[in-house]
Amino acid sequence: MKANFFLGNGRFSLQEVPTPTPGPGEVLIRNAVFGVCGTDVHIFHGEPGSAEVTPPVVLGHEFSGVIEALGPGVEGLQVGDPVTVDPNIYCGKCEYCRDGKKQLCPHMRAIGVTQNGGFAQYCAVPAAQAFRLADQVPLEYGAMAEPVACCLHGIDRAGIRPGDTVCVVGGGAIGLIMLQLARLSGAGRVVLSEPNGLRRQAALQLGADGAIDPKDPGHLDEFQALCGEGAQVVLECVGNNAAVASAFAFAKKGATVVLFSVPKVDAQFPLPLFDVYKKELTIRGSFVNPDTHARAVALLNAGRLDLGPIITHRFPLSRLQEAIEMQMSDASIKVVVQAQE
């Protein structure tokens, strides 16, 4: 089979390697589609992922495919089943796992980060990490289950109440998923802040009540016309200081601000302490997808999310580096790679 190995220093190598054999409790997946994630971009630049990366390794933690073979002892799945993969594997023994906070497990392993993952034609994974997709779900959508699951954890952290005004800062794939999840959570109004016109248009297509350009000198007036004093929940989905500053500016008194994005490791932000004090703000982080993958698949299987406008570019496995570079471009929203050329 073909596998595209990350060698470090922004380099990949497409290699012919033996197709893995599923061991006890594992399934072999004939990969179909994988998404290029912001985490992959960070790793490409030599920064950490959700866990430590040791090249050479096959990246790719957002992927779907069809079960090709079952290892000994696998039950509940069949050859031919379309599946998506939850990449994160926890130890189950540390204080965080035992305290219901498995996402903070210091021993977490991740398929496509710490061990070979989806940027290959086949991948063997524990059967417990494979989730059955409904037959009618496009495998491209199935590859988006992991980011949807991560967003669901962020939505859980946000505590949106029916009728709340929600502001999403950043209209990349994550922001556009968050927009839809906020609406499904009962938000009375959802507004996007995003400088990219393509992404603002996608947001309106997906049901945003407004989409403002934060680089427009009059954007605060436009935001006030849409949201009055501000938003009860702000979801920051960019990871730079300008976006974080906007998130605090858009927050109403008593608001919750979720800093969802993956920033650079050494990123710093001067916290507006008086605003936190006077507005009585709640600030929350959100990390990976603890026990939310099944809910993400349920939403996909029920057709409750529209991911079509989010996926803008497709590349073959042999052009993985180009795919990652396109994901960094303002011309894209979400880039996917097709495993079988």
pLDDT tens, position by position, 226-242: 999 999 999 999 999 99
Rounded alpha-carbon distances, angstroms, from residue 107 to 57, 100, 103, 162? 18, 15, 10, 37
Tell me the mean pLDDT in the region 323-336.
97
Residue 283 has pLDDT above 80, yes or no: yes
Strand partners, 316: 338
pTM, whole model, 2 decimals? 0.97
- Averaged over 199-222, what is the pLDDT? 97
Mean pLDDT of 196-219: 98
* Contact yes or no for 1/21 (Cβ under 8 A): no
Q: What value does the mean pLDDT of the chain take? A: 96
Q: Residue 169: name the closest of 179, 160, 184 by CA.
A: 179
Catalytic residue among 19, 21, 39, 165: 39
Token pair, residue 58, equals 């096959």
A 10 A CB-CB count for 113 gives 26
Average pLDDT over residues 15-27: 98
pLDDT at 265 over 90: no
pLDDT for 51 beyond 90: no
56 burial via Cβ count (<10 Å: 0-12, 13-18, 19+):
middle
Residue 21's pLDDT band (cuts 50, 70, 90): very high
At residue 52 the predicted structure's pLDDT band, cuts being 50, 70 and 90, is confident
pLDDT at 49 over 70: no
Q: How far apart are CA 262 and CA 49, in angstroms?
A: 9
Angstrom distance (rounded) from CA 110 to CA 128: 13
DSSP secondary structure, 290-336, as one string: TT-HHHHHHHHHTT----TTTEEEEEEGGGHHHHHHHHTSTT-SEEE
Residue 47 pLDDT: 82
Please tell us whether the domain made up of 151-285 is placed in CATH 3.65.10.10.
no
Average pLDDT over residues 162-180: 98
With bands split at pLDDT 50, 70 and 90, how would you rate the model's confidence at 50? low
Q: What is the DSSP annotation of 57-112?
A: B----SEEEEEEEE-TT--S--TT-EEEE--EE--S-SHHHHTT-GGG-TT-EEBT
Domain residue spans of the chain: 2-144+310-338, 151-285
Inter-helix orientation angle 173-184/197-205, to 10°: 20
Region 200-223: mean pLDDT is: 97
319-329 in b/e form (b: 16+ CB < 10 A) is bbbebbbbbee
Q: Which of 19, 21, 42, 256 is catalytic?
A: 42
pLDDT for 48: 74
Look up residue 133 and give its two tokens. 């997709």
The 3-state DSSP class for residue 195 equals coil
256 catalytic, yes or no? no
Q: What backbone phi and psi angles, to 5 degrees, belong to 202?
A: -60, -40
CATH H-level, domain 2-144+310-338: superfamily:
Medium-chain alcohol dehydrogenases, catalytic domain (3.90.180.10)
* pLDDT value at residue 92: 97
Identical topology for domains 2-144+310-338 and 151-285: no
**Catalytic: 42?**
yes
